[in-house]
Amino acid sequence: MSLPSFLEMYKSLIAQPSISAIDKRLDQSNKAVINTLAAWCSDLGFTVEITELESVPGKFNLLAKRDPLNSAHTAGGLMLAGHTDTVPYDDARWNSDPFTLSQKDNKLFGLGSIDMKGFFAFVLEAIKTLEHKNQKAPILLLATADEETTMAGAQQIAKHQQLKPDHCVIGEPTDMVPVFTHKGHMSSAIRITGRSGHSSDPERGLNAIEIMQQVITKLLHLKEELKNKYSIEHFAVPHPTLNLGHIHGGDNANRICGCCELHIDIRPLPGLSIIELQQMLLAATHSINEQYPGSVDVIDLHDPIPAFHGQPDSGLVKLAEKISGQRAIAVNYCTEAPFLQQLGCETIVMGPGSIQQAHQPDEHLAMEKIKPSQKMITDLINKCCFEDKQKASS
């Protein structure tokens, strides 16, 4: 069986739904996408390992490896990594079927076209054009599950004791600009438990909305503290951010509110640990909890994602800058990089498509970007895995 064309690979990946969602009614397995990638990797001479996630049954990682000919079980090499899941979609806001790759106005539309199923088509197309007999270092392809929710796939692969690549490129949509560092992500619920009662006698209850007002004041002070205390100039937004994103409380105007919940989002900088941030959040609410014992709970909405701290002068960054013609940058969103970096490899984020299209209706890839992106990905694989090291570094 020969590998399909680039567009046929793209079409096939988009056609297989693999939505990750906290809402179990929307959540789907990624097994079909994994099986498809496994078949294509096998056709290119890769050894394929498919592993079900321990924490999320029904979701799967794929790790495919191809060693140089006559050099079995070699270490090092380049790992090309991406996630196989997508976010949910709003059918009413899409102008085409999200699971049918469609072409219009010189754009390729489809859910996952840039975030980030399409990356696998670029990688496999590149490998197809490079002759195995000329390969000098291992090529690894990693396809993970649940990046859009828990990042459980990347967290599980980070524990793989035999996996030791030299370099890792995560193909999130950066318009092929290398990313060497990014912020983390922490979402928390602040839940106030008061005591409901009839509004005509306020002293017989404990109004959770009034307590929440005090908590919000503390959080806004914490927001300013984070802004004034921490800063890294590489980032467009140089300080950690704290966003009050969602609030709900009470059920009727004539009842004392017995429960109120606020959801917040914090984006820590590299160097600001999740543990330190959690302690700051608890400290901000401590005095209120002392005043109203047991009224304030701080709950993680998902496992926090640490910031990714790469080096702007690493060999992989310099190579990616040379190939792309772009200086490496820092970004405010987060990826699987901090987990995959735990494997001990130089790591960057760099892939086709614009982050402005991620998580948007009518997600698409501009077709004029296909050829230059394909050349950069091919050149990167060629430099890392096919050229002699002395030649590649000269």
Burial class of residue 382 (count of CB atoms within 10 Å of its CB; 0-12, 13-18, 19+): middle
Catalytic residue among 85, 115, 148, 336: 85
Q: Are residues 223 and 278 in the same domain?
A: yes
Decide if 346 is catalytic. no
Mean pLDDT to the nearest integer, 69-85: 90
- Residue 325 confidence (pLDDT): 98
Q: With respect to residue 162, please indicate whether it lies within any of the assigned structural domains.
A: yes
Catalytic residue among 67, 125, 146, 147: 147
Beta bridge partners of 141: 64, 80
Assess whether pLDDT exceeds 80 at residue 391.
no
* Average pLDDT, rounded, for the chain: 95
Q: With respect to residue 380, please indicate whether it lies within any of the assigned structural domains.
A: yes
Burial class of residue 229 (count of CB atoms within 10 Å of its CB; 0-12, 13-18, 19+): exposed
Mean pLDDT to the nearest integer, 241-266: 97
- Residue 161 confidence (pLDDT): 87
- Please state whether the predicted TM-score (pTM) of the whole model is above 0.85: yes
**SS3 at position 35:** helix
Where does a domain end: 300, 326, 358? 300
Q: Are residues 244 and 169 in the same domain?
A: no
CATH number of the domain encompassing residue 90 = 3.40.630.10
Assess whether pLDDT exceeds 60 at residue 387.
yes
Q: Are residues 155 and 266 in the same domain?
A: no
Q: With respect to residue 83, please indicate whether it lies within any of the assigned structural domains.
A: yes
Q: Are residues 37 and 124 in the same domain?
A: yes
Q: pLDDT of 130-143, one tens digit each?
A: 999 999 999 999 99
Q: With respect to residue 347, please indicate whether it lies within any of the assigned structural domains.
A: yes
Per DSSP, the residues of 91-147 read GGG-SS-TTS-EEETTEEE-TTTTTTTHHHHHHHHHHHHS-GGG--S-EEEEEES-T
Q: With respect to residue 124, please indicate whether it lies within any of the assigned structural domains.
A: yes
- Residue 341 confidence (pLDDT): 97
Q: Are residues 146 and 225 in the same domain?
A: no
Q: Are residues 194 and 145 in the same domain?
A: no
Assess whether pLDDT exceeds 80 at residue 42.
yes
Range of the domain at 38: 6-182+306-393
- Residue 275 confidence (pLDDT): 95
- Angle 118-129/6-14 helices, nearest 10 degrees? 150
Q: Are residues 62 and 164 in the same domain?
A: yes
> If you search the block for the tokens 């302690």, which residue do you land on?
279
What's the number of domains the chain is made of?
Answer: 2
Q: Are residues 380 and 268 in the same domain?
A: no
Give whole-number Cα distances, 162 to 81, 86, 257, 292, in Å: 17, 28, 54, 51
Assess whether pLDDT exceeds 90 at residue 190.
yes
Assess whether pLDDT exceeds 70 at residue 72.
no
- Residue 78 confidence (pLDDT): 98
Q: Are residues 30 and 173 in the same domain?
A: yes
Instruction: Report d(CA 337, CA 366) in Å as an integer.
Output: 25
First to last CA, the chain: 39
Mean pLDDT to the nearest integer, 241-253: 96
Decide if 85 is catalytic. yes
Assess whether pLDDT exceeds 50 at residue 91.
yes
**For the chain, percent of residues with pLDDT exceeding 70:** 97
CATH number of the domain encompassing residue 277 = 3.30.70.360
Cβ atoms of 219 and 324 closer than 8 Å: no
Where does a domain end: 278, 300, 322? 300
Q: Are residues 102 and 22 in the same domain?
A: yes
- Residue 73 confidence (pLDDT): 65
What's the pLDDT band for 393 if we cut at 50, 70, 90? very low
CA dihedral angle for residue 104, residue 110, residue 114, residue 116, rounded to 10 degrees: -160
Q: With respect to residue 1, please indicate whether it lies within any of the assigned structural domains.
A: no
Q: Are residues 199 and 135 in the same domain?
A: no
Where does a domain end: 300, 324, 341? 300
- Residue 389 confidence (pLDDT): 55
Q: Are residues 72 and 154 in the same domain?
A: yes
What's the pLDDT band for 394 if we cut at 50, 70, 90? very low
Assess whether pLDDT exceeds 60 at residue 187.
yes
Mean pLDDT to the nearest integer, 379-392: 80
Q: With respect to residue 243, please indicate whether it lies within any of the assigned structural domains.
A: yes
**For the chain, percent of residues with pLDDT exceeding 90:** 94
